[in-house]
Amino acid sequence: MTLTRRTFAVTAAALAATPVPAATSRRPIVIAHRGASGERPEHTPMAYRLAVEEGCDFIEPDLVLTKDGVLVVRHENEIGGTTDVTARPEFAPRKTSKVVDGETVVGWFAEDFTLAELKTLRTRERLPALRPVSAAFDGREAIPTFQEVLDLAKAESQRVGRVIGVYPEMKHPTFLASQGLPIEQRLADALKANGLNSRTAPVFVQCFETAPLKTFAKLSSARRVRLVGGDAKDLVTAAGLKDIATYADGVGPDWSLVIPTLDGALAPATNLVADAHALGLAVHPWTVRAENRFLPETLRSGTDPAAHGDVTAVFAALYAAGVDGLFSDFPGLAVKARA
For residue 52, the 8-state DSSP code is H
Which residues, 6+ apart, have CB-to-CB distance to 10 below 8 Å?
Answer: 195
- Mark residue 35 as left, alpha or beta (left: phi above 0; alpha: psi -120 to 50; beta: remaining): left
Tell me how far apart the alpha carbons of residues 227 and 339 are, in angstroms, rounded to a whole number: 26
Q: How far is CA 195 from CA 20, 47, 150, 206, 333, in A?
A: 21, 24, 11, 18, 31
- What single DSSP character describes residue 186? H
Q: How far, in Å, CA of 33 to CA of 160, rounded?
A: 20
Q: How many CB atoms lie within 10 A of CB 52?
A: 24
Indicate if 33 belongs to the active site.
yes
43 included as an active-site residue: no
Q: Are 223 and 249 in contact (CB under 8 A)?
A: yes
In sequence order, which residues have a C-beta less than 8 Å from that of residue 9 and are 6 or more positions away?
Answer: 194, 195, 196, 198, 201
Strand-pair category, 204-207 with 103-107: unpaired
Of 33, 277, 284, 308, the active-site residue reads 33
Of 43, 75, 172, 284, the catalytic one is 75
**What is the number of H-type helices and E-type strands within the chain?**
13, 15
Contact status, residue 311 vs residue 317, Cβ threshold 8 Å:
no
CA distance 298 to 122: 38
Q: Given the DSSP bridges, would you call strands 204-207 and 223-228 parallel, antiparallel or unpaired?
A: parallel
- Provide the annotated active-site residues: 33, 75
